[in-house]
Amino acid sequence: MGPKKILLTEDQMPRQWYNILADIKLNPPLGPDGNPIGPESLAPVFPMNIIEQEVSTERWIDIPEEVLGIYKIWRPTPLVRATALEKVLKTPARIYFKYEGASPPGSHKPNTAVPQAYYNKEFGIKKITTETGAGQWGSALSFACAQFGLECEIYMVRISFDQKPYRKNMMEAWGGKCIPSPSPATKVGREILEKDPNTPGSLGIAISEAIEAAVTDPSGKTRYSLGSVLNHVMMHQTVIGLEAKKQLEAINEYPDIIIGCAGGGSNFAGISFPFVLDKINGKQIEIYPVEPAACPTLTKGPFVYDHGDIARMTPLLPMHSLGHAFVPPPMHAGGLRYHGMSPTVSQLVSEGLIEAKSVTQLASYKAGVLLARTEGIIPAPETNHTLACVIDEANKAREEGKEKVILFNWSGHGLLDLAAYGKYFQGELKDFELSDAEMEKSEQVFANFPKPKLLKSR
């Protein structure tokens, strides 16, 4: 038996991110007129150096030294052999996980928050705005902005703001300003509050407020930041998979199966894209994004053009979608409650390079508790979905008598989600079923939009 944790030194950290746009084709984003939009139309929202990354087709992009310097606060993250889990499952599979809960905010999110803060600072920006639902992304960006001396303004969905004061305190500890959304600080916020002063808010409203706050700042020194979905975000996260590859190489292993949960797609992309490259080059690997059965974007939503937000402020993106007005049931895995999916992840599904799975809420918590009691770490509710799929595959390997190597991404710890575990133990969590009628209704919103082409990268 080898070591429990396979570590890399800071010298062994990847020096470049992997950009999957060098290896797959995407349908272009479309503007309101239905025509492809150019990078310049995004300039009021994002700094130009990030927009260049968003559209780049270079395969390898250098990670700036300053970003590596901050990554070193918690990276390289360990690759851990889940020996205790293997033992209770009596599986011949060898199971490894990349532990991304080691970052100060507790998830993989700072992998992109840090470079985004860096590029904004390089471009002369003084303040970044963003939205946050459950609070993971807002905390990660607040952490990153503190490292570069940038202001950070986070519009947090009001109901989460009220229910999760810890997340707000966390953002404040790093100097971020956390504003309940809708707020009187923006035009869109004021309009909504006038109609419904007691609205709980929504991610759609918060996005609209954050974008408005960025584009209307008269100084021109404010930009907006997004924590998932976009190409550059997926790319920044590939540091996870690139490290994992080196770590597995060091012990002469290569994965047969790769698993990561998918909400907007970024933690899944992080662990899997470097291996998707190998698969494109002929390797045999099963790669599974896992989503909640209550928000089955990849497993039930069609591949269409749709908006990334309910307020329709974003361009039309080619992706699997449940419809931009879809409101997922109130299940406790905030990071997976998103109607759409990263265009790159969606494209890989449409080409059959990866195969989506879905997991119910109760099955996910059951898996999370088993992992807490074996591997010792309490997982984030999002990670629980990954774990349920990992356990399924490990059981399958036992039934088949096969020594498979399973790699998964432990995207975060659950220390700020313990209330949801409490509800699970009290029997207060339930599964959600979506009816076909509900699905059909929510999908009407993109019925009249252009359709993406079926592209083949090979």
* Contact residues: a copy of itself, CB under 8 A: 3-5, 7, 9-11, 69-70, 72-74, 84, 102, 104, 106, 143, 146-147, 165-166, 168-170, 172-175, 369, 372-373, 375-378, 413-416, 418-419, 421-422, 425
Q: What are 380's strand-pairing partners?
A: none
Number of C-alpha atoms within 13 angstroms, CB side, residue 229?
Answer: 25
Look-up of token digits 């851990």: 80
Tokens of 438: 């509900």
Residue placing its CB nearer to a copy of itself in the complex, 312 or 423: 423
Residue placing its CB nearer to a copy of itself in the complex, 74 or 254: 74
- Per this entry, what is the length of the chain? 458
Residue placing its CB nearer to a copy of itself in the complex, 428 or 440: 428
- Residue among 133, 198, 201, 146 at smallest CA distance from 177: 146
Angular region, 395: left φ>0, alpha ψ -120 to 50, beta rest: alpha
Instruction: Please give the span between the terminal C-alpha atoms of the chain, in angstroms, as a whole number.
Output: 40
Look-up of token digits 């998964």: 408
Q: In the bound complex, what is the minimum distance in angstroms from residue 411's beta carbon to a copy of itself?
A: 16
CA distance 141 to 128: 9
Tokens of 253: 């292993």
Residue placing its CB nearer to a copy of itself in the complex, 170 or 294: 170
Residue placing its CB nearer to a copy of itself in the complex, 12 or 41: 12
Give the start-end residues of each E strand in 195-341.
Answer: 222-224, 257-261, 286-292, 303-307, 316-320
Tokens of 332: 């406790």
- Residue among 259, 258, 359, 344 at smallest CA distance from 303: 344
CB of 295 within 8 A of CB of 322?
yes
- Residue among 277, 257, 273, 276 at smallest CA distance from 265: 273
CA distance 411 to 267: 6
CB of 310 within 8 A of CB of 321?
no
Burial 402-428 (b: 16+ CB within 10 A, else e): eebbbbbbbbbbbebbeebbeebeeee
CB of 257 within 8 A of CB of 405?
yes
Angular region, 153: left φ>0, alpha ψ -120 to 50, beta rest: beta
CB of 229 within 8 A of CB of 308?
yes
CA distance 212 to 54: 21
